[in-house]
């Protein structure tokens, strides 16, 4: 039996070339397995598409090969022809085999999906002040805003971890100490920081480098990238198939691949639009075009796969941006930029209006992979640990009640509603289509309609699309308890270099 193999992340895919599989092929399989382990792979998939017949002894060999795999090595099989599949099904041993119909089906199975991109680094950009999200971002960085019980950034990192990504680099700038306090390394992930700012007179002063300058600094000063790497924004939740994105990038040989979203025709003027040929190679970018003149409906999502060679085109000074500076320069020098336009969900937290829309979608189950943290206490009503919901409160979901929040008897909630951690909604009050920030008290008799509120400000989310709004407090809204969520935490920083998470 002849074999050849390829690697997909930490998975070795072995193709066997034999017409009839027998026990004599067991030794060849074990030899291939040894090579797989020697290369540090943690999973092995065997392609059976070339096999036309399987002897009983051959089936026994497959079962033994899987059952005796070293601890920590996942083994599966895929691609069996119909006749071979029938032969396998007729044998009682078939139930012991992990068998998939196709390579695609095997790779999306949880055991193998989580090993595909091990070793790939992900840069998550978090430095910005998030001025369009004001006032929500005044005391909390956008990536750390609560999104149904978890920070937005946590949703991003969990999604990437589902593909086996364990190496993360963050660039804290605005309110940077909060990232050090909340985002840490663990046995399952490595988190490194490039801190963009400095301590001055006992206070942290942000000094963002610019997204492209950040990447250049990481590569040229710290040799951070030795292979293709991912760039994500820390303030957007997505369910993009990261493995398919990276696979297309590698197959095309591109310097940069940009994940794009198709936007409605009447919204193209809000975005930088991508013009690409039939093969997906990008020809130009058109910034906020008139709908009648837009070359396409493909808008960049801010998700990239980059080759380290692309960073040679970043100018050696600060304030270089990926979209405004690096990508146009790459096009001008003839670099290969590719678009990835397979459908995926993308919830951008650009402004309070977007934030409420994203929360509403999450509560309705419209963002795959995103669920409110906690348990169902009523139909379409989730409550996190420690939350107290009176049986005499009226709640029409969808709604999420944060940790240690209290909904008193006589209170009425009409969804979509989020009540933040430690908040309290008193009796005879009404909260409708709104978000109550953490540690906020909605006093008895208070009505909150279409608002995002905190003790010292309130905004109507329907119109909070970066336009200036009065931020006067809403009558009846007070502080429920001392709020430490937005307080800067004094933690040691490693001056302008990559370091492990602060202790």
Q: Note the pLDDT tens digit of each residue in 97-130.
A: 899 999 989 998 988 888 888 889 999 999 999 8
Check residue 1 and give its pLDDT: 61
Cα separation, 333 vs 342, whole angstroms: 27
Beta-bridged to residue 340, according to DSSP, are 259
Structure tokens at 222: 């710290």
**Average pLDDT for the chain:** 89
Check residue 2 and give its pLDDT: 64
The band of 39, judged by pLDDT with boundaries at 50, 70 and 90, is confident
Long-range interactions of 459-466: CB distance < 8 A, separation 24+:
459/135, 459/352, 461/352, 461/353, 461/355, 461/356, 461/434, 461/435, 462/353, 463/353, 464/351, 464/352, 464/353, 464/356, 465/351, 465/352, 465/353, 465/354, 466/132, 466/350, 466/351
Q: What distances in angstroms separate CA 263 from CA 68, 365, 487, one per listed residue? A: 51, 21, 38
Give the DSSP H or E segment for 447.
strand 447-449
* pLDDT reading at 489 higher than 60: no
Check residue 56 and give its pLDDT: 87
Listed residue (366, 119, 343, 139) closest to 245, CA to CA: 343
pTM recorded for the entire structure: 0.84
Give the DSSP H or E segment for 105.
helix 103-108
- Report for 36-40, 63-67, 81-85, 405-409: range of highest mean pLDDT: 405-409
Q: Alpha helices, DSSP H only, in 209-299?
A: 211-222, 242-252
Structure tokens at 343: 């459908």
Alpha-carbon torsion angle 421, 424, 430, 431, nearest 10 = -10
Render pLDDT for 298-354 as a digit per residue (tens, 0 to 9): 999 999 999 999 999 998 888 999 999 999 999 999 999 999 999 999 998 889 999
Q: 3-state DSSP call for residue 157?
A: helix
Cα separation, 410 vs 453, whole angstroms: 20
């Amino acid at each position: 039996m002849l074999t050849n193999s390829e690697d997909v992340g930490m998975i070795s895919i072995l193709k066997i070339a034999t017409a009839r599989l027998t026990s004599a092929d067991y030794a060849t399989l074990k030899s291939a397995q040894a090579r797989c382990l020697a290369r540090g792979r943690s999973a092995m998939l065997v392609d059976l598409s070339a096999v036309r017949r399987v002897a009983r002894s051959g089936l026994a060999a497959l079962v033994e090969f899987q059952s005796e795999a070293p601890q920590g090595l996942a083994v599966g099989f895929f691609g069996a022809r119909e006749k071979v599949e029938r032969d396998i099904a007729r044998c009682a041993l078939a139930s012991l085999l992990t068998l998939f119909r196709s390579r695609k089906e095997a790779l999306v199975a949880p055991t193998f999906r989580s090993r595909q991109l091990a070793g790939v680094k992900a840069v998550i950009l978090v430095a910005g002040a998030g001025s369009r999200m004001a006032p929500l971002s005044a005391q909390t960085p956008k990536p750390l805003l609560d999104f149904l019980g978890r920070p937005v950034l946590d949703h991003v990192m969990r999604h990437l971890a589902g593909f086996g990504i364990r190496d993360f680099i963050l660039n804290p700038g605005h309110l940077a100490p909060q990232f050090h306090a909340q985002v840490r390394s663990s046995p399952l992930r490595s988190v490194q920081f490039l801190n963009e700012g400095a301590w001055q007179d006992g206070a942290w002063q942000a000094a963002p480098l610019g997204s492209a300058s950040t990447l250049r600094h990481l590569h040229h000063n710290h040799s951070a990238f030795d292979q293709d790497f991912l760039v994500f924004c820390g303030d957007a939740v997505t369910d993009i198939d990261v493995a398919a994105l990276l696979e297309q990038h590698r197959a095309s040989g591109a310097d940069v691949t940009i994940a794009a979203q198709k936007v409605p025709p009447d919204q193209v003027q809000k975005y930088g639009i991508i013009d690409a040929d039939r093969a997906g190679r990008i020809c130009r970018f058109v910034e906020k075009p008139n709908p009648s003149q837009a070359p396409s409906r493909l808008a960049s999502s801010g998700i990239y796969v980059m080759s380290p060679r692309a960073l040679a085109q970043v100018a050696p000074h600060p304030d270089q941006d990926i979209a405004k500076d690096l990508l146009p320069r790459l096009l001008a020098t003839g670099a290969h930029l590719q678009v990835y336009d397979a459908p995926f969900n993308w919830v951008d937290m650009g402004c309070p209006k977007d934030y409420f829309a994203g929360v509403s979608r999450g509560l309705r189950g419209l963002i795959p992979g995103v669920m409110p943290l906690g348990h169902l206490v009523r139909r379409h009503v989730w409550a996190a640990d420690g939350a107290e919901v009176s049986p005499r409160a009226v709640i029409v979901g969808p709604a999420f009640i944060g940790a240690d929040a209290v909904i008193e008897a006589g209170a009425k909630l009409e969804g979509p509603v989020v009540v933040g951690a430690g908040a309290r909604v008193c009796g005879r009050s009404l909260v409708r289509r709104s978000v109550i920030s953490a540690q906020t008290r909605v006093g008895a008799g208070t009505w909150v309609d279409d608002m995002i509120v905190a003790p010292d400000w309130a905004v109507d989310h329907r119109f909070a699309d970066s336009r200036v709004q009065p931020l006067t407090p809403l009558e009846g809204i007070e502080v429920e308890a001392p709020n430490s969520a937005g307080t800067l935490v004094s933690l040691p920083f490693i001056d302008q270099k990559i370091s492990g998470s602060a202790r």
